[in-house]
Homo-oligomer: A and B are copies of this chain.
């Protein structure tokens, strides 16, 4: 039974590209088969609880803009919020959602009370999940909003904060497992520094490594089958965050021997803030064997902060899903909309419209990427470009069978003078434009 928050809006259905109904899908058809899987199986959409239900519309210069009946500090408010959330999941027909502990229950006066409240809501969720068939893509702990974390969670100068954070993560993994969550995410919003003047970066990095190792050990011990994911972000809220980007996280994982235990959850907006394209971060994670999941959104190119907008640029999204497909597609991961309405988008229907637009744009991106793969539109030319490395001598170099001086000797002996070939960038860009 619906909460009525969305009025008489009916479940969103696929009406095809010519529909002008703002509450219909024009491109996302859950059961349409693409490259051997349904779009639902490929995209694995999830709604983010925080932006969609917990964010009041504030920004650094203004307060709440949204009027939501569930805004408040009581457990009843939390239940109304959950009711509306599952209404929205059902109206959209998304298979997944994601949440932080702090999104779903009011903070208690003690750790124990906060934990107990989360348990109550988790049970409430269980019922609703059974009822609706909606599943948990991932759970996570909010280790950044409360003032206790202002100087870091795992990387705090105070070991009591490390302990508090550890207890929180333990409980959140428990709850994630209980709800059948397919991944567990860590985003280290306060794991960084405001100033090096008061920071022992080496020590803090050790603390972070130890924290992650303990987390991985615990997840294994309790038989959590999901993937542990780190979500890189270069900065904001802090001046510098230790999980800066995919490359940085990789070095960190290698350092603590966790590169086979932990993968990354890559967010478009965070890639942009780190100075990378989204597809770069995806391609790199794939190359390094740590690709896990994505936080789909979009960052405004003229803003220097994380705008977390709903994505809409299909050509860009095509390149993103192309990398996802090249990486073999999602296994436990999925497409989580870490996206929030603009604070002026006040209407309940805006919550649906934002997601519909994002899902349709993803669907277009996925389909275009799939066709590029089917046509070998990019992979054909790529293979040709590197064909020289298939020669026996070239392979010998890469396989470690040649020394620098041997290669050097051959250059002189054969008087090698390489001749450059066109990189064909504009040609390839035009090829992509055939698909989007």
Copies of chain A in the complex: 4
Known: A429-B197, A433-B314. A411 touches B164 (CB 8 A): yes
The reply to whether the CB of A1 lies closer than 8 angstroms to some CB of chain B is no
A412 contact from B64, B111, B360, B386, Cβ within 8 A = B111
Whether A344 pairs with B426 at a CB distance below 8 angstroms is no
Could you tell me the distance between the alpha carbons of A92 and B198 in the complex, rounded to whole angstroms?
A: 26
The reply to whether the CB of A203 lies closer than 8 angstroms to some CB of chain B is yes
Best-surrounded residue of A161, A221, A408 (most CB of chain B within 10 A):
A408
Whether B163 pairs with A426 at a CB distance below 8 angstroms is no
The reply to whether the CB of A9 lies closer than 8 angstroms to some CB of chain B is no
A305 contact from B304, B402, B412, Cβ within 8 A = B304
Whether B145 pairs with A425 at a CB distance below 8 angstroms is no
The reply to whether the CB of A240 lies closer than 8 angstroms to some CB of chain B is yes
| Segment with Cβ contacts to B, from A70-78, A123-131, A346-354 | A346-354
Whether B214 pairs with A403 at a CB distance below 8 angstroms is yes
| Segment with Cβ contacts to B, from A34-42, A79-87, A279-287 | A279-287
Output the least CB separation between A72 and chain B (Å): 16
Whether A112 pairs with B412 at a CB distance below 8 angstroms is yes
Known: A197-B425, A237-B59. A415 touches B247 (CB 8 A): no
- For A343, the closest partner residue in chain B by CB is B150
Output the least CB separation between A183 and chain B (Å): 18
Could you tell me the distance between the alpha carbons of A162 and B205 in the complex, rounded to whole angstroms?
A: 36
Could you tell me the distance between the alpha carbons of A151 and B217 in the complex, rounded to whole angstroms?
A: 44
The reply to whether the CB of A261 lies closer than 8 angstroms to some CB of chain B is no
* Chain B residues near A63 (CB-CB < 8 A): 145-147
Known: A145-B62, A210-B400, A388-B160. A22 touches B427 (CB 8 A): yes
The reply to whether the CB of A430 lies closer than 8 angstroms to some CB of chain B is yes
Interface size on A, residues (CB 8 A): 159
Tell me which residues from 191 to 232 in chain A have a Cβ below 8 Å from any Cβ of chain B.
Answer: 194-203, 205-207, 210, 213-215, 217-218, 221
Convert A312-332 into 0s and 1s, putting 1 for each residue whose CB lies closer than 8 angstroms to a CB of B. Answer: 111110010000000000000
Could you tell me the distance between the alpha carbons of A427 and B20 in the complex, rounded to whole angstroms?
A: 11
The reply to whether the CB of A48 lies closer than 8 angstroms to some CB of chain B is no
Known: A144-B61, A195-B429, A304-B303. A420 touches B344 (CB 8 A): yes
Whether B300 pairs with A239 at a CB distance below 8 angstroms is yes
Known: A147-B62, A423-B345, A436-B314. A218 touches B303 (CB 8 A): no
The reply to whether the CB of A179 lies closer than 8 angstroms to some CB of chain B is no
Whether B382 pairs with A312 at a CB distance below 8 angstroms is no
A159 contact from B160, B312, B344, B391, Cβ within 8 A = B391
* Chain B residues near A280 (CB-CB < 8 A): 196, 240
The reply to whether the CB of A418 lies closer than 8 angstroms to some CB of chain B is yes
Whether A65 pairs with B420 at a CB distance below 8 angstroms is yes
Whether A239 pairs with B303 at a CB distance below 8 angstroms is yes
Convert A24-50 into 0s and 1s, putting 1 for each residue whose CB lies closer than 8 angstroms to a CB of B. Answer: 001000000000000000000000000
| 28 chain-A/chain-B pairs, Cβ below 8 angstroms | A60-B60, A60-B306, A61-B144, A62-B147, A157-B385, A158-B418, A159-B393, A163-B411, A164-B416, A170-B407, A194-B344, A197-B425, A198-B381, A200-B385, A201-B283, A210-B398, A214-B404, A217-B404, A221-B405, A251-B254, A310-B426, A310-B429, A312-B315, A312-B429, A313-B315, A342-B425, A346-B421, A353-B426
Q: Top 3 closest A-B pairs, CB basis?
A: A304-B304, A251-B251, A344-B423
